Amino acid sequence: MGYTPLAGTRAPVRVWTDPYTIEEQAARQLRNIGALPWVQGVAVMPDVHFGKGATVGSVIAMRQAVSPAAVGVDIGCGMSAVRTSLTAGDLPDDLKSLRTAIEAAIPVGFAKHDDPVDPRRIRGLEQRGWDAFWTGFDDLDRRVAQLESRARHQLGTLGGGNHFIEVCLEQGGPDAGRVWLMLHSGSRNIGKELAERHMAVARGLPHNVGLPDRDLAVFLAGTPEMDAYRRDLWWAQEYARRNRAVMLALLCGVVRDQFPQVAYDEPISCHHNYVSEETYDGVELLVTRKGAIRAGKDDLGIIPGSMGTGSYVVRGRGNPDAYHSASHGAGRRMSRGQAKRTYSTADLAAQTAGVECRKDAGVVDEIPGAYKDITEVMARQEDLVEVVAHLKQVVCVKG
């Protein structure tokens, strides 16, 4: 479909959805972002919705500056998935025991591991770089020094909210019925703590006085504040990547215990709340994706729907107008509070029929009806990605 320019902005803001369908608060945020003097351009994904400071579903390219609110508090949040050799016929009719086994192996919600993860004890987990990674904790902002033990115990845990673990079946094509494993999580509490501390520092810097939204405060290149943020940011992004890698290895182990014949393809992993150094038209930029994945030419990515719909494995087309990006999911169409007021547990059970998952009041805010139509979101970005596989969950674990 291509993009539509958003009118009334200093920097170009390109929108991959109908601009008139964007909620007023989100549209105001986008115009505020487009007015910042450091912004080269903004690409708005079809799952766009209101967020703190910057909209979720936005790709912000800046010159020599970065806004921590444009990354968000769950630094490095993203997706991982792996295709297995199993097919639907290998799975039992009753999948509750599989869900229970996953929940026993991977702590969810506020739970954490009793003992920190030892990578040497997890089959299939990469063994390189762990000592250097944890040594890097000593270089982080001193205000989080006391959180190292918690960060170690939370590594390899899911969290709550929209984070999930799924067992999915491929839909259509020559591999119809093939089983996939998929999960969505980020940098847990340590990423949040680092993000909030740096956002507070940015708001107090003199060059951010008079911004249209104080939550859009930026750090400037060549300053100690920028150096400190980028140091902590890179570490938190790596924590998130390793967190997903540990969970995926544990998940593969659970499935292997129940299906010893299983084999696995190479995993796919992608951040969707992060910063990257990239060059467009010869200009070096800091590209922030908040609720967006990188979709460079032939990049593989994952775009999930909700806990009762489907997800997509995609290959990027490398569209420079979107800064080589695509949406990170369906995107919310109503707040968590509104979802709880609108839907009941009976609605949740109906909308997740055929999925082995929680169907209680604690996850009503994650009901599929609270999200946009993933098929429409995908149709809006055909010039950004091509579909490799369409997946439908049969097991969904939520925190």
What positions carry a catalytic annotation?
Answer: 328
Coil, helix or strand at residue 153:
helix
The distance between the two most distant Cα atoms of the chain, rounded to a whole number of Å, is: 63
Query: Position 46: which residue type?
Result: P
* Residue 79, φ and ψ in degrees, nearest 5: -125, 150
- Per the CB < 8 A criterion, the answer to whether 270 and 78 are in contact is yes
∠ CA(14), CA(187), CA(196), 5° rounding? 75
Q: Tell me the C-alpha distance between 81 and 95, whole Å.
A: 19
* Burial (0-12, 13-18, 19+ Cβ within 10 Å), 241: buried
Token pair of 215 as six digits: 């939550």
> What is the C-alpha separation between 285 and 144, in angstroms, rounded?
29
The b/e string for 113-134 (b: 16+ C-beta within 10 A; e otherwise) is: beeebebeebeebeeeeeeebb
* Nearest Cα to Cα of residue 250 among 336, 351, 125, 370: 125
What does the block give as tokens for 269?
A: 């992993």
3-class secondary-structure state, position 66:
strand
